[in-house]
Amino acid sequence: MYLDHYGLREAPFRLTPLTDFFFTGAQRGATVDALLYAVLHDEGIVQVSGEVGAGKTMLCRVLLERLPDTVDTVYLANPSLAPDDLLQAIATELGLSLGSDRAGALLGAVQDDLVRRHGDGRRVVVLIDEAHAMPAASLEQIRLLSNLETGRHKLLQLVLFGQPELDALLGGRDMRQLKDRITHHFRLSPLPPDEVAAYLDFRMHAAGYRGPAVFSPAAARQIARIAEGLTRRINVLADKSLLAAYSQNRHVVAPAHVTAAAHDAEYIPARPPRRVWPLAAAALAGAMAATVIPRWFTHEAPSHPADMALATPPTNTPPADTPPAAPPPAKAPQPEAERPAPPPPAKAKAPPAPAAPAPAPAAPAPATSTRPAPPDAPPAKPVVNQVTTTLAAEAGPAAATLATIAEPPATVAARAPVNTAPATDSDTDAPDFGPLARAALAAQTQWMPTAPDAHWFIQLHTNTDLDYTYLEHQLEAARSALPEADIRIYSTHLGERHRVGVITGSYATEQDAMAALRALPDTYRKAAYIRQVRRLR
């Protein structure tokens, strides 16, 4: 959803352990090197333990990838197998054709195959993930497999990956024989707080991002504190924080976005349901003209007049049975027809003072209320109809239902219908564009057919359903700040949303584009990023 917004070629914080995203900092790279040495030069069992989400599976995948071609590997992702099933799984991974499923016959066939491979100069390594979930009887089978050897060498190397519960399991008296065979024990610690910012930046660049740090230092510190250094939690928070920033059309993740992500992931206690919006619904509606901003962000000043209108809380009308407020000390004279008759004079000799006129209702009120009608006010900007329309177009009816229930029914009913201009039929047909936008669009139309796919450009602004008057202000500011630059815009539609990007430059290499980006004024360099021409086709 936010890939184009940040110039990414793929999602940077997926939970799938892809080795291209392996972070070598925080001693991760050194741990892999030590594991390789232990597997290739030792003859005992190796144990790797770490908390849930610390990155054990990623470490296992990296180890599998870096073992030399002379090593045959067996990877078991389901350790909750009975002893015979475990032996059967190893035999199957080795490609053995078995004529019997008896335990003795299986073990003999596996041993014969290991002797043959050893004679050919090959080693066999069995990696067992989630070993803490293995039954005690299967762990005993592991011990028996570790006894397979020739006169001088072990035939099988075993590596156990598990949570700290594996330490407690191996600490039992009945497991002391297996524990004595563990010659190396590596503990995978959480990322230190000062390494989290480097981890976030590494993952963003591994996904194709080219530009300054997206996560502000304060946001990175907050992610480190909430995630407690666990990489899986860091990935969840980072992904949701990017989504929250995208929903506000921001390019820098702030602490408020991390707070929203933490609430959405339930890593910190949620606020009352009526005040918490689903983050996905907010992101899908975030790029619209009437942007739906979760109330977690209302303490930040909006950057656009439309956002300021949304950030203003609706007027609270008191219940009908509330007693009327006392009239003000002075009031403007009323028309003669509406002015009430003065009270009869008092019987005292002194002339009576005129009584203050009582307020008259502007219109007949129900019998249960004497409160005057509130003054006219501009209707609050509706959001639910726009959200539902966009969700139905992009994410289907399930997401539309999610967005529709994000506000209480009473609030939805109080909103006025949406008054927005219909989307144009063509990306290049924008009759409401101002003169600067039309000129910039014409420049883009002339440049695009001749620009090679491999060329690069700089994206200064990314606008979705932006008011065209404000677009004129953007273009005027860009021309003033970059008088020698060729300022262009591209116009496209994403479903019912109209996206306009303000871009500049044409560079043959990524290095040239990055040099031009670094030379921009500070107002642009902090939020701009580079993209390839093929991303626009």
pLDDT at residue 279, as a whole number: 57
Strand 497-507 and strand 456-464: pairing? antiparallel
**Confidence at 494, pLDDT banded by 50, 70, 90:** low
* Phi-psi region at 343: left, alpha or beta (left = phi > 0; alpha = psi -120 to 50): beta
Q: Are strands 182-188 and 45-50 parallel, antiparallel or unpaired?
A: parallel
The pLDDT-based confidence of 160 (bands split at 50, 70, 90) is: very high
Task: Find the DSSP H helices in 347-434.
Answer: 384-394, 396-404, 409-413
Return d(Cα 49, Cα 24) in angstroms, integer.
18
pLDDT (tens digit per residue) in 58-76: 999 999 889 988 899 999 8
Question: Can you tell me the distance from the alpha carbon of 238 to that of 8, in angstroms, rounded to the nearest whole number?
Answer: 14
Q: For 365, phi and psi rounded to 5 degrees? A: -105, 155
pLDDT category, 356, cuts 50, 70, 90?
A: very low
8 A C-beta contact, residue 279 and residue 294 = yes
For the domain bounded by 435-536, which CATH number is listed?
3.30.70.1070
The H-or-E segment that residue 72 falls in is strand 71-76
Options 3.40.50.720, 3.30.70.370, 3.90.226.10, 3.40.50.300; CATH of 27-188: 3.40.50.300
- Cα distance between residue 130 and residue 223, in whole Å: 26
How far is Cα 88 from Cα 278, in angstroms, rounded to an integer? 47
Q: Which has the closest alpha carbon to 435: 468, 464, 458, 459?
A: 468
Kindly state the average pLDDT of the residues 116-142.
Answer: 88
User: In a 10 Å sphere around its CB, with 0-12 CB exposed, 13-18 middle and 19+ buried, how is residue 37 labelled?
Assistant: exposed
Distance CA 12, CA 241 (A): 12
d(CA 198, CA 21): 13
Q: And the tokens for 333?
A: 């004279």
Beta strands per DSSP E along 179-315: 182-188
> Which long-range contacts does 393-399 make (Cβ < 8 Å, 24+ apart)?
393/495, 393/496, 394/284, 394/494, 394/495, 395/284, 399/280, 399/281, 399/284
pLDDT beyond 90 at 348? no
How many percent of the chain have pLDDT more than 70?
67
Q: What pLDDT was estimated at residue 522?
A: 79
Has residue 261 got a pLDDT over 70?
yes
Distance CA 379, CA 115 (A): 83
Summarize the confidence of residues 357-380 as an average pLDDT: 43
Spatial contact of 262 and 227, defined as CB atoms under 8 Å apart: no
How far is C-alpha 481 from the chain's CA centre?
Answer: 33
What's the whole-number average pLDDT of the chain?
Answer: 74
pLDDT category at 98 given cuts 50, 70, 90 is low
CA–CA dist 533, 537 (Å, integer):
7
Given a cut of 70, whether residue 103 has pLDDT beyond it is: no
Best-predicted range by mean pLDDT (262-271, 326-335, 338-347, 374-383):
262-271
Per-residue pLDDT at 112 exceeds 90 = no
Is the confidence at residue 316, as pLDDT, over 90?
no
Sequence spans of domains, the chain: 27-188, 435-536
For residue 445, pLDDT beyond 60: yes
Q: Where residue 487 falls among pLDDT bands split at 50, 70, 90?
A: very high
Tokens 């099933």: give the residue: 85
Distance separating alpha carbons of residues 114 and 456, to the nearest angstrom: 54
**Residues 261 and 240 sit within 8 Å (Cβ to Cβ):** yes
Q: Which of 289, 35, 385 is nearest to 185 (CA)?
A: 35
Highest mean pLDDT among 259-268, 289-298, 334-343: 259-268
Of 213-217, 298-302, 513-517, the one with minimum mean pLDDT is 298-302
pLDDT category at 505 given cuts 50, 70, 90 is very high
As a whole number, mean pLDDT of residues 7-31 equals: 90
Return the pLDDT at 362.
46
